[in-house]
Amino acid sequence: MNLDLTVYYNLFASQYKSGSQISGRITERWASDNLYCPKCGRGLIQYPNNKPVYDFYCDHSNEKFVIVPRENFQLKSTHNFPNGHFSNKIQGGEYGTAMHSMKNETFPSLILLHYEKKAMAIEDAVLIHRLAITPSCIKPRKPLSITARRAGWQGSIITLDVIPELGRIMVINNGNVVAKSTVQNKWSVVTGLLKGNIEQRGWIADMINFIDRLPSKFSLNDIYKYENELASLHPQNRHVKDKIRQQLQILRDRGFINFIGAGEYQKTK
Give 167's pLDDT tier (boundaries 50, 70, 90). very high
Q: 82 pLDDT exceeds 60?
A: no
The predicted pLDDT at position 64 comes to 57
Identify whether residues 25 and 119 lie together within a single domain.
yes
pLDDT at residue 149, rounded to an integer? 84
Residue 39 lies in a domain: yes
pLDDT, residue 65, reads 52
Range of the domain at 227: 196-269
Please check whether residues 134 and 165 belong to one and the same domain.
yes
What's 76's domain CATH number?
3.40.210.30
> Is residue 141 included in any domain, yes or no?
yes
> In which band, very low, low, confident or very high, does the pLDDT at 83 lie, cut at 50, 70 and 90?
low
Do 30 and 138 belong to one domain?
yes
Higher pLDDT, 63 or 122: 122
Domain final position from 179, 205, 236: 179
Per-residue pLDDT, 62: 63
Instruction: Write down the pLDDT at residue 21.
Output: 85
Mean pLDDT of the chain: 90
Contact 95, 150 (CB under 8 A): no
Q: What is the mean pLDDT of residues 108-117?
A: 92
131-152 pLDDT, tens digit each:
999 988 999 999 988 888 888 8
pTM: predicted TM-score of the whole model, two decimal places: 0.88
49 and 153 in a single domain? The answer is: yes
The verdict on 148 and 208 lying in the same domain is: no
Predicted pLDDT of residue 85 = 63
Residue 81: predicted pLDDT: 63
Query: Do 161 and 61 share a domain, yes or no?
Result: yes
Residues 32 and 129 in one domain: yes
- Is residue 184, in this structure, part of any structural domain at all? no
pLDDT in tens, 207-252: 999 999 999 999 999 999 999 999 999 998 889 999 999 999 999 9
pLDDT digit string, tens, across residues 8-56: 988 888 888 887 888 889 999 999 999 999 999 999 999 987 777 789 9
Same structural domain, 166 and 235: no
Please say which residue of 179, 214, 245 terminates a domain: 179
Predicted pLDDT at 147 = 86
Secondary structure (H, E, C), 64-118: CCCCCCCEEEEEEEECCCHHHCCCCEEEEEEHHHHHHHHHCCCCCEEEEEEEECC
